[in-house]
């Protein structure tokens, strides 16, 4: 059983009903988590509330030093985290190392918390009256995270939440839960007091307990759109602030002047890296003005050379999918796309696999001549499937992106600066790349999409992460001169 982390200790729960955690490359069960987890969530929240009482008063110097120590420990344990990602998620080792690095960078950002929490001061807002603003912690923050980034996404939340002075309870994905436990243990080793960080293993039931718990003040969620929508509504109904990041269908628009080889390389990396199980994966390419006729074969050629193998294989480009059910669901879209009239230019079901028969394998696939009504376009497939659409004009391509219900990431490939500028100005998407296929903002910017990719107002990490994890307060102060007396019957105005 993968333990919870409650009040600074591993807690093994003897749950009657459990769900298995599988090694994606073999299908072997390598761990179990409780099928519920609600009772543990309640205990972790109560421990967090108790710990918040002291932690909120911890000096900025102490919080900063703790973050630096955490950074050093995570850095020292990089390989251990990478191994957990390769086993439970199935990422190839280079990809897993990149994930750990991007998570670590949020910890580095949080090391600067004394600077990030500086307020503003105005002298003499009225005669002998001063005002200043401060940001204070919110209380107990909860995080609910998806399977596809078991280190990075928890680290989008945890370092900023606690550096701001909150306590933080995490409910990681039940599909690859072990990395979260290590993240909490290392935070403890770095000097984070017991209870300030909790991890609850379990399913949606544990998450539901966090969403409705009266002692939880805020919720950061990352996952699929239907759950994100539910999380936002439930959290708001229960009086909490919430940021809920949802799913995506990220478009790459390819203009005729783009360098074909550079673009095809970029699209293959962005569509099939991590087996397409990235919220910023490019899953739809829009070829403008006939460039699709050259682009489709350029991609197909590259797919033939992709080595699909376990992440432990140093030659692997792409690993397995997260579960057998998910693999079957993705494969189902290959049949559906053909039935709807798309051209299956490359069929991942026939791709050679170098792996254990029990693994959740599916090779890379390319659909060409896809139209907007087809389910391979309207649904988030979240697997190694790229769909190629054709647009007659640049305007038609932008319109296609803007009509899509998601707006997480997008990219344009071109050598025309004016077209690129028009694209990033007009496109209704939260994160935009210009010849950059996966424009994930660095830790000191904020990450988040538009439309059905984000429910709530504030993006995650960076300055908006600090804002989400703090409450603003403005103090107005006067030290009266006893000679200046008298009752003021008016509403206060500056004098």
Active site residues: 279
The nearest distance, CB 385 to ligand NAD, in angstroms, is 14
270 vs 296, which CB is nearer to ligand NAD? Answer: 270
Count other C-beta atoms under 10 Å from residue 392's C-beta.
10
Q: Does 38 bind ligand NAD (CB under 6 A)?
A: no
Q: Does 173 sit near ligand NAD (CB under 6 A)? A: yes
95 binds ligand NAD, rule: CB under 6 A: no
Q: Does 209 bind ligand NAD (CB under 6 A)?
A: no
Q: Is 365 exposed, middle or buried (0-12, 13-18, 19+ CB in 10 A)?
A: buried
Q: Which two tokens stand for residue 23?
A: 């090694």
Site for ligand NAD contains 241 (CB under 6 A): no
Q: What DSSP state is assigned to residue 482? A: T
Options 32-40, 71-79, 203-211, 256-264: segment touching ligand NAD (CB under 6 A):
203-211
Pairing of strands 167-171, 4-6: unpaired
Q: Does the protein bind ligand NAD through residue 232 (CB under 6 A)?
A: no
Among 100, 248, 267, 412, binds ligand NAD (CB under 6 A): 248
Q: Does 19 bind ligand NAD (CB under 6 A)?
A: no
| Residues in region 382-411 near ligand NAD by CB under 6 A | 382, 408
At closest approach, how far in Å is the CB of 200 from ligand NAD? Answer: 10
Does 148 bind ligand NAD (CB under 6 A)? Our answer is yes
Q: Which of 372, 376, 438 is nearest to 408 (CA)?
A: 438
Residue nearest to ligand NAD (CB): 223
Integer Cα distance of 369 and 359 in angstroms: 31
CA distance 86 to 96: 7
Closer residue to ligand NAD (CB): 364 or 449: 449
Residue 228's contacts (CB-CB under 8 Å, 6 or more residues apart) are: 221, 222, 244, 245, 246, 247, 454, 455
Bridge partners of 387? Answer: 284, 367
Report DSSP state, residue 350.
G
Q: Which of 22, 26, 66, 145 binds ligand NAD (CB under 6 A)?
A: 145
- Give the range of 185-193, 243-251, 260-268, 299-307 binding ligand NAD by CB under 6 A: 243-251
- The single residue listed with the structure tokens 């001169």 is 481
- Tell me which residues in 174-193 interact with ligand NAD (CB under 6 A): 174
Could you give the CA distance from residue 169 to residue 167 in angstroms, rounded to a whole number?
7
DSSP state of 241: E
Chain residues binding ligand NAD by CB under 6 A are 144-149, 153, 171, 173-174, 203-204, 207-208, 222-224, 227, 230-231, 245-248, 279, 380, 382, 408, 449, 453
């Amino acid at each position: 059983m993968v333990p919870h982390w409650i009040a600074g200790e591993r807690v093994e729960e003897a749950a009657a009903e459990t769900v298995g955690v599988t090694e994606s490359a073999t299908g072997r069960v390598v761990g179990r988590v409780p099928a519920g987890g609600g009772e543990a969530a309640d205990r972790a929240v109560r421990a967090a509330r108790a710990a918040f009482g002291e932690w909120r008063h911890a000096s900025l110097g102490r919080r900063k030093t703790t973050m630096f120590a955490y950074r050093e420990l995570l850095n020292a344990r990089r390989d251990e985290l990478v191994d957990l990602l390769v086993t439970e998620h199935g990422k190839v080792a280079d990809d897993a190392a990149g994930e750990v690095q991007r998570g670590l960078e949020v910890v580095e950002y949080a090391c600067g918390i004394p600077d990030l929490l500086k307020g503003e001061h105005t002298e003499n807002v009225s005669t002998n009256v001063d005002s200043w603003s401060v940001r204070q912690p919110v209380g107990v923050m909860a995080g609910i995270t998806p399977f596809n980034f078991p280190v990075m996404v928890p680290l989008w939340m945890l370092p900023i939440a606690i550096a701001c002075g909150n306590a933080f309870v995490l409910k990681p994905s039940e599909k690859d839960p072990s990395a979260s436990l290590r993240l909490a243990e290392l935070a403890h080793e770095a000097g984070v007091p017991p209870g300030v960080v909790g991890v609850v293993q379990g399913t949606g039931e544990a998450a539901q307990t966090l969403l409705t718990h009266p002692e939880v003040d805020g919720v950061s969620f990352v996952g699929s759109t239907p759950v994100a929508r539910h999380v936002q509504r439930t959290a708001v109904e229960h009086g909490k602030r919430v940021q809920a990041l949802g799913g995506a269908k990220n478009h790459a628009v390819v203009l005729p002047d783009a360098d074909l080889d550079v673009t095809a390389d970029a699209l293959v990396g962005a569509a099939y890296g991590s087996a397409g199980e990235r919220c910023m994966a490019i899953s739809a390419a829009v070829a403008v003005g006939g460039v699709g006729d050259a682009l489709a074969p350029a991609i197909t050629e590259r797919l033939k050379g992709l080595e699909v193998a376990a992440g432990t294989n140093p030659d692997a480009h792409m690993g397995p999918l997260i579960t057998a059910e998910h693999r079957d669901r993705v494969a189902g879209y290959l049949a559906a796309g053909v039935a709807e009239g798309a051209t299956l230019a490359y069929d991942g079901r026939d791709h050679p696999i170098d792996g254990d028969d029990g693994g959740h394998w599916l090779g890379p696939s390319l659909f060409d001549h896809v139209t907007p009504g087809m389910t391979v376009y309207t649904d988030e497939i979240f697997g190694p499937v790229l769909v190629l659409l054709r647009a007659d004009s640049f305007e038609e391509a932008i319109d296609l992106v803007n009509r899509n219900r998601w707006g997480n990431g997008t990219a344009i490939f071109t050598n025309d600066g004016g077209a690129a500028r028009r694209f990033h100005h007009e496109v209704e998407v939260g994160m935009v790349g210009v010849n950059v296929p996966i424009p994930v903002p660095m830790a000191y910017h904020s990450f988040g999409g538009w439309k059905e990719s984000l429910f709530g107002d504030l993006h995650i990490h960076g300055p908006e992460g600090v804002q989400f994890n703090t409450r603003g307060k403005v103090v107005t102060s006067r030290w009266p001169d006893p000679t200046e007396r008298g009752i003021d019957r008016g509403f206060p105005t500056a004098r």
